Amino acid sequence: MAENQLDQILERIKNTNLPPVHKWNPTLTGSMDMRIAANGDWYHQGSLIQRKRLVKLFSTILKKELNDFFLVTPVEKYQIQVDDAPFVAVEVDRINCDRQTLVFRTNVDEQIIADVDHPINVKVDVETGEPRPYLHVRDGLNALLHRNVFYQLVEWSLEEPHLNGSVLVIESSGQKFQLGQL
């Protein structure tokens, strides 16, 4: 059952056709008054974009270069503002067959399997000391893990010895990802 479920997810991910934005390098056309808030909401000229299909479309032509974000087509490139990460991982499922596999769903309904190409990375906010967990989505674009998703990972994690004590570790697709020190 679990193996069949994982095969279906892998097939669905494989058949997702995203535009080849990594190949598109038009000259900068300008900037656009568009912002992706830290909670994953998209705004245009200060107003929330309420049409989820439009947000999904824009998310497919999003590109990151160095620390800047752009909406890009083969002939145009507009810089936009991203407050934190452009995506939010809003759900996680754990599939156990040969090995544990974590499947995340983003706020734009993209499914990502945590693996060597899509690692989980936890940064610590210098000011607050709180963890800021991320999942690599594609081409330098990350998803901030929603608090409930992170708590679910912590619940599933195992404690392992580390240089300065212990760390919480979660495994997916044969890879181990550190969630934080204890």
Tens of pLDDT along 25-82? 999 889 999 999 999 999 999 999 999 999 999 999 999 999 999 999 999 999 999 9
Question: Which stretch of DSSP H or E encloses residue 35?
Answer: strand 30-36
Provide the pLDDT for residue 38.
Answer: 94
Q: In what order do the strands lie in the sheet with 175-181?
A: 158-162, 165-172, 175-181
β-pair partners for 132: 123
At 159, phi and psi to the nearest 5? -90, 130
SS (HEC) of 87-99: EEEEEEEEEECCC
Q: What residue ranges do the domains of the chain occupy?
A: 2-82, 88-181
Domain 88-181 class? mainly beta
CATH of 2-82, one of 3.90.1150.10, 3.10.540.10, 3.40.630.10, 3.40.190.100: 3.10.540.10
Mean pLDDT computed over 80-98: 94
Question: With contact defined as beta carbons under 8 Å apart, do 79 and 32 qualify?
Answer: yes
Helix, strand, coil percentages in the chain from 3-state DSSP, rounded to 5: 20, 50, 35
Rounded to whole angstroms, what are the CA distances from 169 to 9, 150, 160, 178?
24, 12, 7, 5
